[in-house]
Structure 1
């Protein structure tokens, strides 16, 4: 078997994240499309509210279980590009530089968020009893 899905994660026989990332970006893109229809186009919502809903809906859809990922440089850039594109859509600024988008969105970069998730998981595992399997 070349690949199979277990608990929502795709595991491949060559132990790369390519297939998993493709599926996660697809799921996050469909979530972003639904989010854009309902929240981004709502003029009553503030940017802060839109960003919080984005983090809960889109970010968590894509990065569920990402604590154990080991990303290559091109994979990380692909994920960061997707999230910057989403943030630009929320802000309504398609041509802004990346640094401007991150500052205006008031959300840390994707690399910072992934590092936080790694560290949170490492802390959780280090506090476990020795006889417990993480």
Structure 2
């Protein structure tokens, strides 16, 4: 396990409509490579990072950022740490244990339509595999 850089608060961005007390679990399709069923649930200590995840999430629901609490051990997300950025500047993590929803954040910097298009183009051109 990699050293954990902070203790939160932690956020998860999605388009799912959730309630306080709900558990987010692994086992769903990747937003970035939908043929992959993810073995981990991902979260970040940066609200705007969760906002990016919400904007890029699949589905038709509203973009939501939930304040979450890990229920088990977690590690730095190897998909963005060291592999792409030295250390963990994105403060991104993953866990095989569920995340408990403890609240919802309603104020964050949302992507403009142009930024969303740029991100979708970047994601469409990603080469390489997700570390699952």
Regarding TM over 0.5, the answer is: no
Q: Relative contact order: is structure 1 or structure 2 higher (C-alpha 8 Å, sep ≥ 6)?
A: 2
Between structures 1 and 2, the one with greater helix share: 1
More strand per residue: 1 or 2?
A: 2
TM-score by length of 1: 0.27
**Higher Cα radius of gyration:** 1
